[in-house]
Structure 1
């Protein structure tokens, strides 16, 4: 009995991934359900069987993408678990991985789509924010608190420190986005990660 349920879950995921890709390419208004069905390789009635209408497709596709991006960013802060010694390599590694997740095609499309339809889907942008940025900030604050207790950082308000560190990382990305930059080269992401880490540790390294 487990196989049919597993197959239904996989089919739903297949449809949601195809829907997100089409919405990202075409925008909400220009996308039709038949395009999503074609991209998913299923019949149009199959799409409606899993997700009742275009609005539900949009909402669920964005939330699934938010969960995926959120999982990537949470994994990125794992290097900050205190392993002793100089925390700089762990911060630099974590920063680079966070930048990769935030500047990926999926990350950029998620942010753009959520806010472009904020009037029609009033609570969707807030839910995407909760599953990505807010969850990340909470996890990062936890890691920073542990590092401070271990003496790797000076005593601080971890939530404030987390906000400041994330601002050092996301600020340059937002600037490049406003300037029309598309995919940011890896070397540039490394430079942003290094600069953010250096600035943060100058402020929060123990005396």
Structure 2
């Protein structure tokens, strides 16, 4: 049975909301915030524009919800990776390297979110400042903090030359030298990079990180 205005099958309230979030993520990632139209988003979601306004009130609130929902999901996935590889370290070099390898090996899972992030970078001056700030808190800063906590713990165990004073710096360098290297040079997944080159970036990045932060006494 069609939704109001004949667009798509009838959905319950939760299903419509989720359809709108998915549709909006696709359109915002493709068109950006400024160019994305309400009609286009509603059509992508298979609902009416009235349904969109009923759920989110307008484009700004919808963009906020889409971005925060997507950022929280990606952050949760990254935190799970961090805990899996660094939750119980037996060989710090091996475990840090395996974290970086899996992190980059699963980058394709977050393609739609990376497109959103690319739009934030290109349209930052046109976006509400509080939306950008909240995205940073939920997304990049939360991920960096999760890495920082684990590195600080490894430092306290004598496995890395990291302490409370430099643990955030160490986390940022690790992310920049591994994931950041690939993310920037692929323009958030837009420009192709071979798996072999990604692997090489990971290995070089971890090598540099360990030269900076390995604890010689732990060898």
TM class by shorter-chain length? 0.7 to 0.9
Partners of 2:136 and 2:45 lie apart in 1 by 27
Change (3 A) 1:176 1:19: closer
Residue in structure 2 matched with residue 206 of structure 1 by the alignment: 215
**Superposed displacement of residue 37, structure 1:** 1.6
2:42 to 37, 40, 44: 37
Q: What TM-score do the two structures reach when normalised by structure 1?
A: 0.83
Note if 1:187 corresponds to 2:196.
yes
Residue in structure 1 matched with residue 70 of structure 2 by the alignment: 65
Partners of 1:151 and 1:51 lie apart in 2 by 50
CA RMSD of aligned residues (A): 2.4
Segments of structure 2 that go 5 or more residues without pairing to the other structure are: 1-11
**Superposed displacement of residue 117, structure 1:** 4.1
Q: What TM-score do the two structures reach when normalised by structure 2?
A: 0.79
Partners of 1:62 and 1:192 lie apart in 2 by 28
The answer as to whether partners of 2:75 and 2:139 remain within 8 angstroms in 1 is yes
**Superposed displacement of residue 181, structure 1:** 5.4
Q: Deviations over 1:127-151 (max 9, x none)?
A: 2111111101111011011112222
Note if 1:50 corresponds to 2:59.
no
Partners of 2:110 and 2:196 lie apart in 1 by 15
**Superposed displacement of residue 120, structure 1:** 3.7
Partners of 2:37 and 2:126 lie apart in 1 by 20
Residue in structure 2 matched with residue 20 of structure 1 by the alignment: 25
Give the length in aligned residue pairs: 199
Alignment map for 1:3-18 (pairs within 5 Å):
8-18=13-23
Alignment map for 1:149-164 (pairs within 5 Å):
149-156=156-163, 157-164=166-173
2:177 to 157, 164, 168: 168
1:145 to 137, 142, 152: 152
The answer as to whether partners of 1:73 and 1:136 remain within 8 angstroms in 2 is yes
The answer as to whether partners of 1:73 and 1:101 remain within 8 angstroms in 2 is no
Answer with 141-150 or 164-173: which moved more.
164-173
**Superposed displacement of residue 71, structure 1:** 1.8
Residue in structure 2 matched with residue 131 of structure 1 by the alignment: 138
**Superposed displacement of residue 171, structure 1:** 3.5
The answer as to whether partners of 1:82 and 1:150 remain within 8 angstroms in 2 is no
3-state SS in 2 of match to 1:153: coil
Q: Deviations over 1:73-123 (max 9, x none)?
A: 222212112332x22232122213333449942242122222314334122
Q: Deviations over 1:6-50 (max 9, x none)?
A: x53343122111101011112223322222122112222222221
